[in-house]
Amino acid sequence: MYFVVKKVRVKLQSWDARQLSIAGRATLAQLVLLSILGHFMQSMMILKKISDEIEWLAWTFIWSTTDGRNKMSLVGWDSVCQPKDRSGLGMRQLHDQNISFLLKLGYNMVFDEKSLWVQVIISKYGLDDSLPDSIKRGQSSFIWKSLSKV
């Protein structure tokens, strides 16, 4: 998964932050940097270390100055991740977003038994009626391992 961090760094190097205001940097970070991981987070548990590093890169991009140095941030990352109606910037913390994606998958496994992907998972892993008892972390699928952690 470290290739995703490398991808974020490459994106950052191609942008010229000097041309953007802090609001522009925050919007760009939210729409591009923090969404690169979105595809992977929908099907597997991402290491907290990786999500923290990408959030740190986004924070650094937002608070960088025109000469490449970092200036003191005026608010903490937790405040930035608050909804806009609570005076935040509406950014999402990646670890929380990852868990919510996986909880959605788990919910669909329990309540949407007729969908094809759920039937494939059930037949592959031999699930019985009591889902929690049949989850084993030793299975080989990324989706299955991630769901069993959540």
16: left (phi over 0), alpha (psi -120 to 50) or beta: beta
Number of C-alpha atoms within 13 angstroms, CB side, residue 107? 6
Q: What digits encode the pLDDT tens for the residues 39-87?
A: 888 888 888 899 899 888 888 888 775 555 666 666 777 777 777 788 7
Q: What digits encode the pLDDT tens for the residues 102-123?
A: 888 888 887 888 889 888 877 7
Please report where in the chains the tokens 């592959």 appear, as a residue: 124
Given this model, what pLDDT does residue 49 score? 92
Average pLDDT over all residues of the chain: 78
Residues 82/123, Cβ–Cβ less than 8 Å: no
What pTM, to 2 d.p., does this model score? 0.73
